[in-house]
Chains A and B, each alone.
Chain A
Amino acid sequence: MRKLVPVSTMLLVIALALYPIALSDPLRGVIICGMLAVLCFGLALITSEWLLSGPGLILLLAEYAIALVDQRGAIDEAAPVFAVGAFLLMELMDISLTLARSQRVSPEVVGVRARQLIVVAAVGGIVSALILGAGTLVAGAQVLRLVAGAAGAVLVVLLGVHLAHDVLGEESS
């Protein structure tokens, strides 16, 4: 467990960094951002320092943004998968650092964390797909796109509150 999670995290970082490169013509900016992101996450894992994973995530998202801007016009249908991947990456990163810091972690903690992770990632993916779908429908209309984005955000909040009571209700009771 203590080796499997960091290795999985690193493999996920590499996969996520390679995806924008495959999406567009290999741009220097995309490659540099990808390499720096992998470096940041690698260093964070080696030093067990969470602070480095923040810039790593921003670099990864910047790499994706540059790739998207480069292939302007075409909608990337795999964006929800990339979003869920980025979220899972951060959660795996946190689990790796927790495992590295704590000498003993009870299996109960891992179970609860895994349940939370699966639920949030699944719902996040669905919401992400909904937002992307709404964005595609109103493609070209900037105002409508913004309204769709706002509606998506409201939906996220409502769904989040509902789930918080259902899935994590026992924690707040």
Chain B
Amino acid sequence: LKTYIAASAFTLFGGVVTGQPELIACAAPFVLAIVLGLVATGRPQLDARLNLSETRVIEGDEVIASASLTTSRRAEVEMGLVVPSGLELHKSPRTVLRATPANRELKQEFRLNSRRWGAYPLGTLALRLYGAGHLVVYETIVRATIGLKVYPQSQRIMRALPPHDTQMFSGDYRSRAAGDGIEFATVRPFTVGDSARRVNWQVTSRSGELHVNLSHPERDSDIVLFLDTFSDAQLAGKTTLDLAVRGASAVAEHHLRHNDRVGLVSFGGSLRWLRASMGRTHTYRIADFLLDVNATFSYAWKNIDLLPQGILPSKATVIAFTPLEDNRILRALADIYERGFTVYVVNVLPEREIAPGDSPEDRVAHRVWLLQREMRKQRLVETGLPVITWAGDTSIEAALAAAPRPVSRAALRL
């Protein structure tokens, strides 16, 4: 509109000053366009809505966001959906220009591909309405708040780390102690209170003295997944936090399937936890907890004293997913270990994925970094914590299978 007004004014003024009727004639189409455009244009009343086909999906799933728009006047509408990082438009244009009739609903679908797990606020629709002749443009942003939860695609694993200590409740693991169970443990002489059904008649007849069979009781275990959220390092196509969340999700699912109690601790700039529990409801609680895991930068020193009682149940096995980049997490893990828990450390920042830079200084810095990491790992191993490296290219099951047994504190004291 401004360009047309400027052109009309220039030609009309020029025509009068120079006395050239051709210049005045040149203004005619522009003046006509201005008049027609303004007469046929008015501020439209808008009603825009956005709906999602699903509000909970698994990583890689497709979601359809349907925008519906009603305007009080006929207009040309350019609409674009603001897509948060982690989601991407799939087989859909970023912006669409369509004509909308007056008081009739216009529908536009945007297909979204969920690339990365997380909780995303969706619903910001950028609208640009053109008046007749595109002389007047109304721009507006419609904000609706629809939450889309994208759950991490977890691997289904058949075996995880065997618990070092089991709990009192019945479960899927063979306890190291002898008692009532199915799996045979040993034979011992009969004592008062033993059940007659447990008498081993073969040994009894040979020895002439009553003997009973003992078996290992089946017990459950408590697993606490400890996520280091002090830092999140970018790797090729993934981050260390991605690996940690995927690994934790797979391990949690496995243990919950085996009737274990699973708890979660997000230990970083902000401290969050989920008390150990079991069952289907807890599976959903864990999934929701993992969606909100974020790396938060902080200089504050943190230790496990900040965790409330009961978050780390006695005899729990702690599996820590960490890029081993922060000394605070090393201190916290050593602290947990010293309090009597079995701790496994899963390193989610494989050194081979970080290539040195081109300059000699970069290569030196890379070597220093490697030495620092080696030192950190050595410190953990010397403390008695086994360190497993998982790059995400293989199953977490394979990485856990290669885990050495944790060294007992008694052996360390010797």
Inter-chain CA distance A169–B95, complex, in Å, is 28
Within 8 Å CB of B73, what residues of A?
Answer: 171-172
CB-based nearest A residue for B96: A104
CB-based nearest A residue for B75: A171
Within 8 Å CB of B133, what residues of A?
Answer: 116, 120
Q: Is the interface of B mostly helix, strand, loop or mixed?
A: helix
With beta carbons under 8 angstroms apart, the residue of A50, A120, A132, A172 that contacts B21 is A132
Contact B132 A127 (CB under 8 A): no
B19 an interface residue at 8 Å Cβ cutoff? Answer: yes
Inter-chain CA distance A125–B26, complex, in Å, is 9
Contact with A along B153-164 (1 / 0, CB 8 A): 000000000000
With beta carbons under 8 angstroms apart, the residue of B2, B21, B42 that contacts A135 is B21
Contact with B along A72-85 (1 / 0, CB 8 A): 00011001101110
CB-based nearest B residue for A163: B36
Within 8 Å CB of B32, what residues of A?
Answer: 120, 123-124, 127, 156, 159-160
In chain B, positions 84-100 with a C-beta closer than 8 Å to chain A are 93-99
Give chain A nearest CB distance to B82 CB in angstroms.
15
CB-based nearest A residue for B15: A149
Inter-chain CA distance A145–B32, complex, in Å, is 20
CB-based nearest A residue for B131: A171
Contact B35 A164 (CB under 8 A): yes
Inter-chain CA distance A87–B75, complex, in Å, is 22
Within 8 Å CB of B97, what residues of A?
Answer: 98, 102, 104-106, 109
CB-based nearest A residue for B17: A65
B76 an interface residue at 8 Å Cβ cutoff? Answer: yes
Known: A58-B10, A68-B18, A136-B21. A82 touches B26 (CB 8 A): yes
Contact with A along B22-49 (1 / 0, CB 8 A): 1111111111110110011010000000
Give chain A nearest CB distance to B18 CB in angstroms.
5
CB-based nearest B residue for A123: B32
Contact with A along B342-379 (1 / 0, CB 8 A): 00000000000000000000000000000000000000
B145 an interface residue at 8 Å Cβ cutoff? Answer: no
CB-based nearest A residue for B2: A54
In chain A, positions 119-164 with a C-beta closer than 8 Å to chain B are 120-121, 123-125, 127-129, 131-132, 134-136, 139, 142, 145-146, 148-149, 152-153, 156-157, 159-161, 163-164
With beta carbons under 8 angstroms apart, the residue of B18, B29, B132 that contacts A124 is B29
Contact size class for B?
35 or more
Contact B22 A76 (CB under 8 A): yes
Within 8 Å CB of B6, what residues of A?
Answer: 54, 57-58
Give chain B nearest CB distance to A82 CB in angstroms.
7
Contact A106 B99 (CB under 8 A): yes
Within 8 Å CB of A2, what residues of B?
Answer: none
Give chain B nearest CB distance to A45 CB in angstroms.
15
CB-based nearest A residue for B3: A54
Inter-chain CA distance A109–B30, complex, in Å, is 21
Known: A102-B97, A106-B98. A64 touches B26 (CB 8 A): yes
Known: A98-B134, A172-B42, A172-B73. A109 touches B98 (CB 8 A): yes
Inter-chain CA distance A156–B301, complex, in Å, is 76
Within 8 Å CB of A102, what residues of B?
Answer: 78, 93, 95-97
Can you add 19 more A-B contacts, CB < 8 Å, to A109-B98, A113-B76, A156-B35?
A: A54-B3, A65-B20, A83-B27, A86-B7, A87-B30, A102-B95, A112-B99, A120-B29, A120-B36, A125-B29, A127-B29, A131-B25, A131-B28, A134-B21, A149-B24, A163-B36, A171-B40, A171-B75, A171-B132
**7 sample A-B contacts, Cβ–Cβ < 8 Å, listed by A number:** A65-B11, A65-B14, A83-B27, A125-B28, A128-B29, A136-B21, A168-B40
Please list the residues of chain B having a beta carbon within 8 angstroms of any beta carbon in chain A: 2-4, 6-7, 10-12, 14-16, 18-33, 35-36, 39-40, 42, 73-76, 78, 93-99, 102, 132-134
